[in-house]
Amino acid sequence: MTTAGAPLRVCFVCTGNICRSPMAEQVFRARLAEAGLAGLVETDSAGTGGWHEGDGADERTVSVLESAGYPATHTARQFRPAWFASPDLVIALDAGHLRALRRLAPGAEDAAKVRLLRSFDPALPAGADLDVPDPYYGGTEGFEECLAMCEAACDGLLDAVRRQLSARR
């Protein structure tokens, strides 16, 4: 857990760290910058698998991000159990990632750090599907849908992070 004065850390996690998690990370970074919180919160992203380690983001992710005005620089990495010592929040992009990350967690406190991104979307009705669908095997429309879901959820995540920062003061 981050101590007072240290930045709050948020890590976004999807399958291969080339589509959803880098997209969510870039959207959230932009929200933090707009809110003047960039210096207080560090972001990162990773995948549950290592198939794409060292690769850039999927070209469709890059295209959709850049079209929406977000930066798209990224290098894929795999989430490791030892990383639980660093982030305050580990944001899973779907229920499969949530389960995988909670299984990797060294203890209950680490497992409690893992949350689904869309659980932060204030506009979702109770009982709504909280998965951000994997756009990898589809066309651009799936990446655009993913971006829209990330944008909606990152607004709520920003509010949650503001509350965490306030509680630390």
Tokens of 125: 């009705």
Q: Per the structure block, which two tokens stand in for 160? A: 């949650």
Question: Cα–Cα distances in Å, from 152 out to 52, 60, 119, 149, 155?
Answer: 27, 20, 10, 5, 6
Known catalytic residue: 14? yes
134 given a catalytic annotation: yes
3-state SS, residue 44: strand
Of the residues 9, 11, 14, 88, which is catalytic? 14
Q: How many helices (H) and strands (E) does the chain have?
A: 5, 4
From 9, 19, 20, 94, the catalytic residue: 20
H or E stretch at 13: strand 8-14
Q: Which of 134, 155, 162, 168 is catalytic?
A: 134
Q: Is 129 an annotated catalytic residue?
A: no
Q: Which residues are catalytic?
A: 14, 20, 134
